[in-house]
């Protein structure tokens, strides 16, 4: 494995008497897609919100390319090259879909990295085409289905050209064909295919997803959380056989016969 460029060290977050994330540590390399799974309430979304700085940790720290992000604001994290999507979509519902993608393109990072296209409208359209909803570009976001809103979230995130892409259930609300298409697109993006253009290096990806079949088909590694703690970290084939993971998901210490 190449040296990690994201390091999470003993990250902890409490909500009153509930410890949602408890001393979580892991590393993520530049060339990885990592799945983050676990039962409902395991702390997955909280962990992603800590990395994006939407939430502040009670303890621990986050290093990105050697820089401590712990005290940065969310917009500063985006400027460093980290962007993500929300489990609950937050579109500007009265704006056209293409305008929703144009909003993050006015950020300093996006402007600097947009030399390959002269107009932000064109770059926004490329991002929508990448996720498969460019034909809806002029529709208001309020007209989108939940599945298409998820795709819009992904388009807005990748438009900033992040080095680390955090995805919170991007396949939620999509049917089987749409899920497979977007999963393949995420893999292609990671491999260097960006909006129909080929580049040498795409973003690393940390991805929460409950559709395990699609997730396991694209990730290099899986981290499993349960009650806010890491209970497994390894290759997909290893993790699905891990007794702790089976117990967390099924409530039993071994797989059923």
Range of the domain at 236: 4-91+160-250
- Joined together, the tokens standing for residue 184 give 């393949």
Q: Are 205 and 167 in contact (CB under 8 A)?
A: yes
CA distance 127 to 207: 19
Whichever domain contains 74, its CATH number is 3.40.50.300
In this prediction, residue 122 carries a pLDDT of 84
Going by C-beta distance under 8 Å and a sequence separation of 6 or more, which residues neighbour residue 185? 130, 131, 132
What is the structure's pLDDT at 111? 63
Whether 58 is in a domain gets the answer yes
Residue 141 domain-assigned? no
Q: What share of the chain is helix, strand, coil (3-state, %, to 5)?
A: 35, 25, 35
Model pLDDT, residue 108? 72
Number of domains, the chain: 1
138 lies in a domain?
A: no
The CA distance from 47 to 207, in Å, is: 11
Query: Considering the domain boundaries, does residue 122 fall inside one?
Result: no
What is the DSSP track for 89-140?
Answer: ----TTSBHHHHHHTGGGSHHHHHT-TT-S-HHHHHHHHHHHHT-GGGTTSB
pLDDT profile of the chain (257 residues), mean per 10: 79 95 96 94 95 95 94 92 84 86 78 60 88 92 89 90 93 88 88 57 92 92 96 94 89 48
Q: Is residue 23 part of a domain?
A: yes
Over residues 17-52, the pLDDT tens digits come to 999 999 999 999 999 999 999 999 999 999 999 999
Q: What per-residue confidence (pLDDT) applies to 48?
A: 96
**Which residues contact residue 38 at a Cβ distance below 8 angstroms, ignoring those fewer than 6 apart?**
44, 224, 225, 226, 231, 248
């Amino acid at each position: 494995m190449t040296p990690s460029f994201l390091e999470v060290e003993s990250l902890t977050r409490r909500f009153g008497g509930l410890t949602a994330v408890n001393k979580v540590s892991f590393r993520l390399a530049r060339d990885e897609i990592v799945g983050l799974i676990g039962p409902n309430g395991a702390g997955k979304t909280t962990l992603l919100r800590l990395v994006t700085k939407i939430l502040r940790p009670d303890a621990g720290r986050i290093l990105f390319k050697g820089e401590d992000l712990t005290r940065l604001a969310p917009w500063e994290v985006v400027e460093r090259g980290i962007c993500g999507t929300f489990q609950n979509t937050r579109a500007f519902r009265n704006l056209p879909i293409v305008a929703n993608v144009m909003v993050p393109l006015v950020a300093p990072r996006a402007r600097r990295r947009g030399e390959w296209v002269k107009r932000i409208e064109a770059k926004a359209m490329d991002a929508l085409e990448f996720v498969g909803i460019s034909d809806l570009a002029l529709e208001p976001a309020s007209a989108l289905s939940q599945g298409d809103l998820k795709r819009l979230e992904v388009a807005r995130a990748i438009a900033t050209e992040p080095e680390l892409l955090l995805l919170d259930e991007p396949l939620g609300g999509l049917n089987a064909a749409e899920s497979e298409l977007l999963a393949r697109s995420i893999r292609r993006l990671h491999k260097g295919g960006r909006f129909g253009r080929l580049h040498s290096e795409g973003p690393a990806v940390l991805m929460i997803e409950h559709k395990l079949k699609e997730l396991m088909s694209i990730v290099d590694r899986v981290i499993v959380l349960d009650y806010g703690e890491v209970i497994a970290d390894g290759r997909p084939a290893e993790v699905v056989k891990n007794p702790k993971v089976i117990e967390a998901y099924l409530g039993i210490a071994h797989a059923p016969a």
